[in-house]
Amino acid sequence: MRNELMQERASRQDVECDKISLERQNKDLKSRIAYLEGSHKPSKEGLVAQLENRIQELEERLEAEERERGNLQLANRRLERKVKEMMMQVDEEHHSLQDQKDQLNLRLKALKRQMDEAEEEIDRLEHNKKKLQRDLEEQQEANEQLQSQLKALRTPVLNADDDDDDDDISTDGETYFSSSSGYKRSSSQDAIISKFS
């Protein structure tokens, strides 16, 4: 489009130059006519006729150049109007793209802020997870210790129950019968029996 404008301007300049040249030629011819009318009176009529024909041709050519010039000016105005419209369209598209860019930047900032918040939440949850894991391990260790203590407390009772199951207590609570090797009750058993007597 820029090349077309340059070509139109060059054509318009050529038309202007041709117009000036034709006007100069017309002026020269009129001067020659005046000169010939004064110096060659016998052939005045024939020369005048030739010069008039030449002037008419130049005037017709000048009119044609003027019409061409008008057409070029009209085309130039159309191109200028088209260029102006295109420039306005480019400006509108530029503003639209700028608005979209601003919206994308705002969206990007919002997403980045959400991502930072999510990372902070993940860190917080990870910290809580580690804390709960430590609490669980401590609780398991405490349970194991309690189970060990409970087992240690239950062992003498179980042993005592096993001894009681192997013996037969008489109706008066004083005589015991064991295997063929014999068995004598302990003082603790005597204390238990005397307690229930």
The tens-digit pLDDT sequence of the chain (197 residues) is 667 667 777 777 777 787 888 888 888 888 877 776 666 555 566 777 788 888 888 888 888 888 988 899 999 999 999 999 999 999 999 999 999 999 999 999 999 999 999 999 999 999 999 999 999 999 999 898 888 888 888 776 666 655 555 554 444 444 433 333 344 444 544 554 454 44
Residue 163 lies in a domain: no
Which residue, chain included where needed, has tokens 């110096």?
39
Residue 66 lies in a domain: yes
Residue 34 lies in a domain: yes
CA angle 7, 9, 14 (to 5 degrees): 95
Residue 142 lies in a domain: no
Residue 152 lies in a domain: no
Side-chain half-sphere exposure of 190, counting CA atoms within 13 A: 4
Residue 133 lies in a domain: no
For residue 124, what pLDDT is reported?
92
Side-chain half-sphere exposure of 194, counting CA atoms within 13 A: 7
For residue 160, what pLDDT is reported?
62
Q: Give the structural domain span for 8.
A: 2-119
Residue 45 lies in a domain: yes
Task: Please give the tally of structural domains in the chain.
Answer: 1
Residue 177 lies in a domain: no
